[in-house]
């Protein structure tokens, strides 16, 4: 549900800005026949400003009017905020930026610009990380604040993984209890996540057998859901695996082997 909400927020800003705030998205699996997109893997565009990255850490700001949604992004020493109004009346609010997450604000006056309904920019000042904003009924107001310190906790390290070989395939379905295996790219290293769709009405326990870098290992799980996460060696060229299951009537079963390969550059 969180990914769907985030997709709505990014799409809402895209529509209200008439496409002038745009972030690339990729299709991800949805639920209940719903489809949505994930964002943040590539830079976007903000009213002609390139190399803009979504940046929405928890508690980045406090807004005293619940009618306003907001999307935050960063570009160098600029903090970018798009406010959208969900009501049928114009809304004004006080915004307080989180001075722990955003540096160079304490006791400072910062130059900023505001753009209402996609029109020209107007200058204003942000004092000690606080400012007032107004948004027309079902409208959009975009704010750009200059000369702030933004230090992402982990986002930069993820985005810097441009030369790390991917995996092909990076997803497999195994005909054994609806088993799935997929690569999850990480900050320091990748992981492989494996799970079974079958529950404890079919299996008492599942054992994962896997090999990487020439060494076989096992993980045992006797509590539903049957799922496993394995850190991947950076030097490993493949991840080979199979499952053994103990059914509720005491029978032992084994799956076919699956292999995920690291792609060649």
User: Mean pLDDT for each consecutive 10-residue tract of the chain (265 residues)?
Assistant: 87 98 88 80 94 94 96 97 96 97 95 97 97 98 97 73 78 97 85 97 98 95 97 90 98 97 80
Identify the pLDDT of residue 223: 97
The verdict on pTM exceeding 0.85 is no
Identify the pLDDT of residue 27: 86
DSSP, res 45: E
Identify the pLDDT of residue 15: 98
Domains (range + CATH), the chain: 2-156 (2.60.40.1180), 160-261 (2.60.40.10)
Read off φ and ψ for residue 175, nearest 5 degrees.
Answer: -75, 70
Do the beta carbons of residue 46 and residue 55 sit within 8 Å? Answer: no
Encoding tokens for residue 91? Answer: 């809304």
Nearest C-alpha neighbor of 205 from the set 219, 221, 225, 228: 221
Torsional sign, CA 106, 107, 108, 113:
positive
Identify the pLDDT of residue 166: 80
Classify burial at 130, counting beta carbons within 10 Å of its beta carbon; exposed 0-12, middle 13-18, buried 19 or more: middle
**Which residues, in sequence order, are bridge partners of residue 38?**
26
Identify the pLDDT of residue 163: 66
């Amino acid at each position: 549900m969180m990914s769907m909400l985030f997709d709505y927020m990014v799409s809402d800003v895209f529509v209200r800005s008439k496409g002038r705030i745009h972030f690339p998205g990729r299709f991800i699996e949805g639920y209940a026949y719903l489809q949505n997109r994930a964002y943040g893997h590539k830079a976007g565009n903000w009213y002609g400003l390139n190399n803009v990255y979504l940046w929405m850490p928890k508690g980045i700001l406090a807004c005293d009017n619940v009618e306003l949604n907001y999307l935050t992004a960063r570009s160098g020493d600029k903090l970018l905020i798009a406010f959208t109004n969900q009501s049928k009346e114009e809304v004004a609010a006080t915004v307080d930026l989180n001075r722990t997450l955003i540096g160079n604000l304490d006791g400072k006056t910062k130059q900023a610009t505001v753009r209402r309904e996609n029109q020209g920019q107007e200058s204003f000042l942000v004092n000690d990380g606080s400012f007032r904003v107004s948004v027309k009924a079902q409208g959009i107001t975009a704010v750009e604040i200059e000369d702030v310190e933004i230090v992402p906790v982990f986002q930069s390290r993820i985005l810097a993984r441009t030369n790390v070989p991917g995996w092909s395939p990076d997803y497999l379905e195994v005909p054994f209890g609806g088993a799935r295996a997929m690569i999850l790219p990480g900050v320091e290293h990748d992981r492989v996540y494996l799970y079974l769709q079958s529950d404890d009405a079919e299996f008492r326990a599942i054992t994962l057998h896997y090999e990487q870098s020439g060494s076989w290992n096992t993980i045992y799980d006797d509590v539903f859901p049957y799922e496993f996460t394995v850190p991947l060696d950076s030097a490993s060229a493949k991840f080979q695996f199979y499952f053994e299951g103990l059914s509720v009537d005491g029978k032992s079963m084994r799956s076919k082997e699956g292999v995920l390969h690291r792609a060649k550059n």
